[in-house]
Structure formats: structure tokens, C-alpha cells
Structure 1
Amino acid sequence: MELWIPITIAAAFMQNLRSALQKHLQGKLGTRGASFVRFGYGFPLAILYVLVLHWIVGLPFPTLNGTFAFWAVIGGLAQIYATMLLVYLFSLRNFAVGTAYSKTEPVQAAIFGFVLLGEHITFGAVIAIIVGVIGVMLISVARAPLSWRNTFAALTSRTALIGIASGAVFGVSAVAYRSASLSLDGPGPIMNAAVTLACVTTFQTAFMLVWMLWKDKNEIVQVLKSWRSSSLVGIAGVLGSACWFTAMSLQQVAYVRALGQIELVFTFMASYFLFHERVNRTEVAGCLLIVCGILGLLFW
């Protein structure tokens, strides 16, 4: 098994855990506060990860450059807004459906990867990704009779558009992070990914702190008061991001993000067991299609 596969599965699991914790915090902290904790409580661990790789493992620091800074800022800003859209989406639909809407990202990431990086994927991989997206579409109309009219209405609703926009911005973020990591002349993908993660999360924390000070200083107070729950979001977030960054340094973004759709399996489990949300047969069928798309991607 190629190394990027288990790393991506681990990333999907940690991302699901982080999202579940953010959904729990959204009611207490609001959309911006619940989004901030991912970065604010995560960046010290990201820096520590780099230092461990340098001091204990013995990997040298890569040399930063202007191209890295450009893509790191683009990716960091995109991830902030994509996270806020996703957290807001949790307040509109249940956890599983909210997450599912954002899973159009692999197709969008493939398009962005093709346009920005000139990456190519095989015909079989394209079919597998489309199967996964059909699964997402099926989930989106699971609460209404299946018809072309209902499908169109579901996919053009405010909720769906927010979810698809979240997926698009996450796609931009993923491509930007891969570009930033690949621009580093470092000892290898693990250190390059770690440095990218540390730089980006530090920038994101500073950016959101300034934003929160400008908009509502009380949000920072609430974030500090909820440090127990918030720190768990940061830990899950930075571990997931470390896995994502490493996987995307080893493999094309479209493949990593497509395999990352296995997160929906974890999502449905969390939706049912943690949030006690009902899942119907159509939603299960959509989830199975997504899994088939993942398997197709791996074997094609």
C-alpha cells in the first residue's frame, strides 16, 4: 500500500473529529469563534511538530521563498473562509448532510489542480470521482421524492450553494498548500509539509485574532473560557492538517481529496451515535456510492 493512502485515511478521521467538535462549539462561540479554535489552539502544536522533526529526527529546515509565501497566504485565507462556511452550514442542516455538501471538493480540486498546476488524472479516476459526486447529490435529495425537479431545487438551494462553495474554497486551499509545499527546497515531503503547516496556521491565527479584535473582542474571551473543548479542536485540527499536507506532498490533490471522502463514513457514524440524527436509506445509498467512488479511484 502506498504511504499516502493510510495518511489520508487518518487525515479524514481527524477532520471528522474536528468538525464534530466544532459543531458542538458553534452554539457557544458562533461561527467565527468555532472556526478560530481550529487554528488558535493548533498552531503551537504545528510549531512543536517542526521542532521535533528538526531536533530529534534531524531533518534540516527548508529555505522559505516568495512563491511559498504567496501560496501559503492564499491557502490560509481560503481555508479560513471554507471552514467558516462549513461551520455555518452545520446550523442549517444536520452534521452528515452538512459535511456531505462540501464533498464536491474532489472534482473542484481536480479542476483547480489542472488549471493551476497542470496536473492530469486518468479517465477511470474521473469516472470514480463522478460516482462519488452522484452519491453526494443523492444525499442532498434524500429528504424529498427523487426527481429531476427536486434534485435541481436541492442543488440550487441556499444550503447546497453554501456547501458547494465551501467545497470549492477547500479545493483552492488544498491546491495552494500543495503548491506551497512543493515550492520548498527541503529534505523531503514530511518536513516540507510540517513547515507549511506551521507557517500557515501561525498566519491564520494572527489574521483571525486581528479580525476578532476588530469585530467583537468578546469572541476572544469566549474562546479562552472554552479552552478545554477548544483545545481538542486544535489538536484534532493540527493532526489532521499534518496528515493532509503530507499526503498532498506525496500525491496529487485530486486523488488525496477523493480518498478523503471516506470521511463521510465517519461522519454518518458521528451523526448517528453522537448527535442522534436520523439517517434514511437514500442517505445510506449515497454514502455507499461515495465509498464505491473511493474504491474505484484506488484501483483505477
Structure 2
Amino acid sequence: MDLVWLWIPATLAAAAAQTARNAMQRSLTQTIGTMGATQVRFLFGLPFAIVFLVLVGFATGERIPSPGPGFWGFALMGALTQIGATALMLAAMRARSFSVITAYVKTEPMQVAVFGLVFLGDPLTFALALAVLIGTGGVLAMSWRPGMLTEGGLQPILLGLAAVALFGLSAIGFRGAVLSLAEGSFLMRATTTLVVGLTMQSLVLGLYLALADRTALIASLKVWRSSAKAGFMGALASQCWFIGFALTSAANVRTLALVEVIMAQFVSRRIFSQNVTRQELAGMAAIVIAVTILLAFEPVGD
């Protein structure tokens, strides 16, 4: 199989790992707060990312690639916007159901397609546009509830939509960073970008919490077992996302990642005891159609 198609299993693995990590972080917000749970994916994920980099270097015999023009700017853009997006998403999840907020966040492919065209010159084909529209429609159908604009107030919706925009910019930033590395295989470039991004994020959030919310930082260290599990799943998800970004456009990756909404529905039912309705099943069907269009007609590779 052509290696370029590895973005498909990598994206599916990323979606599964991210669903697990989001559920873990959502649970942690109840004990260590939103910012404490936010930094868990970064601070506790960094050691695992370093292990990934060592293993990749050992397996391939490659050295860490040299940064090309724009690498640091793209990496910083991805790192900072991902911090903001994660904090906003977790804040929204405290007020609304896990699956509904996950659905909001998964309207991201629309922004990613536009951002990718503007910042990286990634093509926006008819097949991709159609898949994005159908998939986004399915996501909205799954999340819509009578009175949802007034139930619980507008704040969770606004937080979710703001998280969407930042997650979109984060995807573009990290893909730009991967592409800006001057040498190395897609696996080495993806893993190097992961370590750089998590290092930036750990430093920024660690400094912020040390100065502004030391209680949350100490609390996350006290529940280190739960934090380490969430950190590992976060690092694993990011590793797989970055592999996808190294092989195809961020819009392709994020559109296929809509399957995470279906995974979140399973988690909501099994863990948070939230039922799945016919409307949600119809939305899932639309997502499956969108993914089918993407895989059948959208070209892959850089």
C-alpha cells in the first residue's frame, strides 16, 4: 500500500485516542478545574512524546530534522491556539453534554478548509467541499435540540464555536510546521513537531499556572495517575494527527475525523449514560456519507 494512504488509519486512531482523552479530561475538570485539566494533555503528554521521538529515531536511524523557514512561527501558532481551544472546549463541556460539545467542535473542517487554502495553499476541491458540507450538516443535526439556544444559556455555544475556530487554526499551524521541516521522513517530521509543540505548550501553561493558579497545578500532580493516562492518550492522538498532516491536507484529516462524533456518542452512552436519538442516528449517517465521498473522490498527498 502506498504510504500516503496511511493518513486514513492514522486519523482514525487519532480520533479514537482523542475521544478517550477528552472523556478523561472532562472527568478531571470536576476535581482540578478547567485550566488544570487543560494542561494535563500537554505537561503529562510531553514525556510520552519524547519517548515516541526516541523510538522513531532508533527505528529509522534518522536525526532530528533542521527547521525550515516558518517552522517556529507555525509551531507557535499551533501550540497557542490549541491551548486556547482545549480550555474553551472543556469549559463548554462543564455546561453541556460531552457528545453535544464534541459535535460543535467537529464543525471545524469548514474553517480548516478555508484556513488551509489561505495559509498553506491546500486545494479546496469539489469533493472536499461537498464532504465538508454534508459532514458538517450531519454534525449540526446531531447536536440540535429544541430550545438549545436558551437551555443553559448561550455561553456553552459561544465557547464551543470559539474552540472550533482555534482548533482549526491549530491544525493549520501544526501542518505548516510539519511541512516546514527541511528533511526527514513523514514520521520523523511529525514526531519532531509534536515534541516542539508540546514543549512550547508545557512551558506556557506551566508558567501561567505557577503564577496564576498554582492550586490547579498542584492538584494535577496529586492525581498523577489519571493525569498521566490523559497525557498519554493526548500525546498518542497528537502523534497520529501529525502523521496525517504530514501526508495530506488538514481539511482531509479533519473531515475524516468527523467519525469522532460517532465515537463520542458511544462514550456518552456507555460512560455518561446519555441516550442516542433517531435524529443523532440520521446525523451519523450523514457523516458516514461525507467520509465515503472524501475517501472515494478526494485526491491525497502533498
Paired letter, 1:60: R
Structure 2: gaps (5+ residues): 298-302
CA contact (8 A) 2:14 2:237 kept: yes
Paired letter, 1:177: F
CA distance in structure 2 between the partners assigned to 1:56 and 1:193 by the alignment: 15
Q: CA deviation at 1:65?
A: 4.4
CA distance in structure 1 between the partners assigned to 2:195 and 2:204 by the alignment: 14
Partner of 1:202: 199
CA distance in structure 2 between the partners assigned to 1:93 and 1:292 by the alignment: 27
Paired letter, 1:10: A
CA distance in structure 2 between the partners assigned to 1:283 and 1:171 by the alignment: 24
SS at 2:64's partner residue?
coil
TM-superposition CA deviations, 1:56-87 (whole Å, max 9, x none): 43112101245111111110000000011111
Moved over 2 A (4+): 150-154, 156-161
Partner of 1:285: 282
TM-score (norm 2): 0.93
CA contact (8 A) 1:42 1:231 kept: yes
Q: Could you tell me which of 113, 122, 130 is aligned with 1:119? A: 122
TM-superposition CA deviations, 1:231-280 (whole Å, max 9, x none): 00000000110000011110001000000111111111000011111222
Paired letter, 1:86: M
CA contact (8 A) 2:78 2:171 kept: yes
CA contact (8 A) 2:26 2:90 kept: yes
1:36-55, aligned counterparts within 5 Å?
36-55=39-58
CA distance in structure 1 between the partners assigned to 2:87 and 2:282 by the alignment: 28
Q: Could you tell me which of 237, 250, 253 is aligned with 1:240? A: 237
Partner of 1:257: 254
Structure 1: gaps (5+ residues): 145-149
CA distance in structure 2 between the partners assigned to 1:136 and 1:158 by the alignment: 19
CA distance in structure 2 between the partners assigned to 1:250 and 1:137 by the alignment: 28
Partner of 1:3: 6
Structure 1 residues 118 and 65, CA gap change in structure 2 (3 angstroms): closer
Structure 1 residues 94 and 83, CA gap change in structure 2 (3 angstroms): same
CA contact (8 A) 1:247 1:256 kept: yes
Q: Could you tell me which of 72, 80, 89 is aligned with 2:92? A: 89
CA distance in structure 2 between the partners assigned to 1:275 and 1:267 by the alignment: 10
TM-superposition CA deviations, 1:10-36 (whole Å, max 9, x none): 010000010010111111111100110
Q: Could you tell me which of 55, 58, 61 is aligned with 1:58? A: 61
TM-score (norm 1): 0.93
Q: How many correspondences in the alignment? A: 293
